[in-house]
Amino acid sequence: MIMVPLRESVMIRPCSLCLAIAVSLVSSLIRAEDKPVQSKGLVDTPPVPSSRPFGKLPDGREATLYTLEVPGGWRATITDFGAIVTSFHVPPREDDPTGKPVDVVLGFDLLDGYVAVHPYFGAICGRCANRIARGEFVLAGKTYRLATNNGPNHLHGGLKGFDKKLWKATPKATDRGPALELELVSPDGDEGYPGRLVAKVVYTLTPSGEFIVEMSATTDEPTIVNLAHHSYWNLAGQASASIKDHELVVHADRYLPVDATSIPTGAFAPVEGTSFDFRPERKTPSRCFRAIETLPPNAPPGTPRGVDHAYVIRDWRPDGELRRAAVLRDPGSGRTLEILTDQPSIQVYMANFLDRSLTGKDGVVYGPNAAICLETQNFPDSIHHPDWPSVRLDPGQTYRHTMVHRFTR
Ligand code: GLA
């Protein structure tokens, strides 16, 4: 709370009106931490996200677009459809001649783009992000069959995953900054998954531009869950065509090789000596183009190039601690993005499948490697690897996943 020092000479004698005003001011500040209260004129009250209609879904329901903004100029827009981050603006540095903020995520101007088929731009993927081999699994003795929407496999929650659902949004002012809380009730049997899952995502923007994504879920029956945030980053700006020149550090010594259908083979292979090596110790920073120019092992001919693999985060333990996962840098602008997480893995995906068939914000046509996704999560296809960290969630347990995006401009 702001402390206004009063000089003795101007000390005001307490009177009942002053007390009443003071009490109501203090209580409104306390309320601001847990309720969406509009702040008006109080410098120290964190701003509440503003909102505007974002359009109608095919079933007639309205989607809303929320803006999280902090005084330094950092700004994120998020829609309750798919819990999608539609833009993220980094403010200009003092020496930037353009003086303009830059939008560093791919996406669409209108809701329609997100309702149509698209590769999960900015979305929360669930109930189980990434792939499940053959779209089936056994849990508590029962076999479950899911949609096979990626060749023979299940990907990112199925045909109507969490990226295609309308979440319930609550904008909040918190002491860390403006936040948007989103909740989704995924009924028993949703896309073939068992149990009624209540999923929650909280996006928070701090005054220094830290963008925090906190995901959680509970269930009333044994189920599986692995949520992932799927923003497509291009630190040179969403319109700048390619991340080939971006430098990348991944805090991982091993990665998960995959078969011809992108399912992990079960091995944890060393990155050393491969084009997957983005370790922090490398003397010269690794640029993305090295990997983009190399066809990964096992990739069938014709596979678009670039990394699309899970990395094993160094020193991971199931202790809920945040660890460094990756650092991305655009050498042109000097902008960097560091990602921290409590998850065991990060899927690095260099937008290999973008093929100029999608027109995004400001009419920009997105081609191969126009961005990079840095998706923290549990290992893909973990349900088929009993010795890997488990994706199983039982009643009474809470799934938790935090990822922090730290920017320098
Ligand atoms: C993920 C996968 C990729 C691709 C994209 C969406 O990140 O790893 O193979 O399916 O999503 O296009």
- Say which residue, 259 or 301, is predicted with more confidence: 259
Q: What span, in angstroms and rounded, lies between the C-alpha atoms of 191 and 272?
A: 39
Atom of ligand 1 nearest to the CA of 308: 8
- Say which residue, 142 or 300, is predicted with more confidence: 142
The string of pLDDT tens digits covering residues 301-355 is: 888 889 999 999 999 999 999 999 999 999 999 999 999 999 999 999 999 999 9
Q: How far is CA 349 from CA 115, 130, 274, 331, 354, in A?
A: 22, 11, 16, 20, 11
C-alpha 136, offset from chain centre: 26
Q: Are 378 and 391 in contact (CB under 8 A)?
A: yes
Ligand 1 mean position, distance from CA 349 (Å): 7
Q: Is the CB of 353 under 6 A from ligand 1?
A: yes
393 Rama class: left (phi>0) / alpha (psi -120 to 50) / beta = beta
Atom of ligand 1 nearest to the CA of 155: 10
Atom of ligand 1 nearest to the CA of 373: 7
Ligand 1 mean position, distance from CA 308 (Å): 7
Atom of ligand 1 nearest to the CA of 120: 6
Q: What span, in angstroms and rounded, lies between the C-alpha atoms of 177 and 292?
A: 38
What pLDDT sits at residue 383? 98
Residue 9 has pLDDT above 50, yes or no: no
Question: Residue with structure tokens 């937008």?
Answer: 351
Going by CA atoms, what residue is nearest to atom 12 of ligand 1? 119
Q: Is the CB of 119 under 6 A from ligand 1?
A: yes
Measured on CA atoms in the order 168, 174, 178, 179, is the torsion positive or negative?
negative
Q: What span, in angstroms and rounded, lies between the C-alpha atoms of 290 and 282?
A: 14
Q: Are 235 and 371 in contact (CB under 8 A)?
A: no
Ligand 1 mean position, distance from CA 9 (Å): 67
Ligand 1 mean position, distance from CA 348 (Å): 9
Q: Is the CB of 232 under 6 A from ligand 1?
A: no
The answer to whether the bond into 127 is cis (omega within 30° of 0) is yes
Q: Is the CB of 381 under 6 A from ligand 1?
A: no
Residue 370 has pLDDT above 70, yes or no: yes
Q: Is the CB of 265 under 6 A from ligand 1?
A: no
Atom of ligand 1 nearest to the CA of 150: 10
Start-to-end CA distance of the chain, whole Å, equals 29
Q: Which contacts of 362-367 are long-range, i.e. CB under 8 A and separated by 24 or more positions?
A: 362/109, 362/238, 362/239, 364/238, 364/239, 366/106, 367/241, 367/242
Q: Is 252 exposed, middle or buried (0-12, 13-18, 19+ CB in 10 A)?
A: buried
User: Which residue among 181, 210, 375, 405 is the active-site one?
Assistant: 375
Q: What span, in angstroms and rounded, lies between the C-alpha atoms of 85 and 343?
A: 21
Residue 127 has pLDDT above 70, yes or no: yes
Q: What span, in angstroms and rounded, lies between the C-alpha atoms of 373 and 176?
A: 25
Q: Is the CB of 371 under 6 A from ligand 1?
A: no
63 Rama class: left (phi>0) / alpha (psi -120 to 50) / beta = beta
Q: Is the CB of 347 under 6 A from ligand 1?
A: yes
Instruction: Return mean pLDDT, the chain.
Output: 90
Strands 308-313 and 365-366 come out as unpaired
Q: What span, in angstroms and rounded, lies between the C-alpha atoms of 140 and 133?
A: 18
pTM over 0.95: no
Among 183, 140, 150, 384, CA closest to 260: 150
The string of pLDDT tens digits covering residues 170-213 is: 999 999 999 999 999 999 999 999 999 999 999 999 999 999 99
Q: To the nearest whole percent, how much of the chain has pLDDT over 70?
A: 89
User: Which residue among 230, 246, 251, 309 is the active-site one?
Assistant: 230
Atom of ligand 1 nearest to the CA of 380: 8
Going by CA atoms, what residue is nearest to atom 5 of ligand 1? 119
Q: Write out the two tokens for 200.
A: 């929650």
Q: How confident is the model at residue 45 (pLDDT cuts 50, 70, 90)?
A: low
Q: What span, in angstroms and rounded, lies between the C-alpha atoms of 394 and 263?
A: 25
Mean pLDDT, residues 61-89: 97
Question: Residue with structure tokens 């505007």?
Answer: 52
Q: What span, in angstroms and rounded, lies between the C-alpha atoms of 81 and 120?
A: 12
Q: Which of 308, 346, 350 to mutate to test the pocket of ligand 1 (most atoms within 8 A of CB)?
A: 308
Ligand 1 mean position, distance from CA 409 (Å): 28
Residue 375 bears catalytic tag: yes
Residue 251 bears catalytic tag: no
Ligand 1 mean position, distance from CA 176 (Å): 32
Q: How confident is the model at residue 46 (pLDDT cuts 50, 70, 90)?
A: low
Ligand 1 mean position, distance from CA 188 (Å): 26
Residue 21 has pLDDT above 80, yes or no: no
Ligand 1 mean position, distance from CA 353 (Å): 8
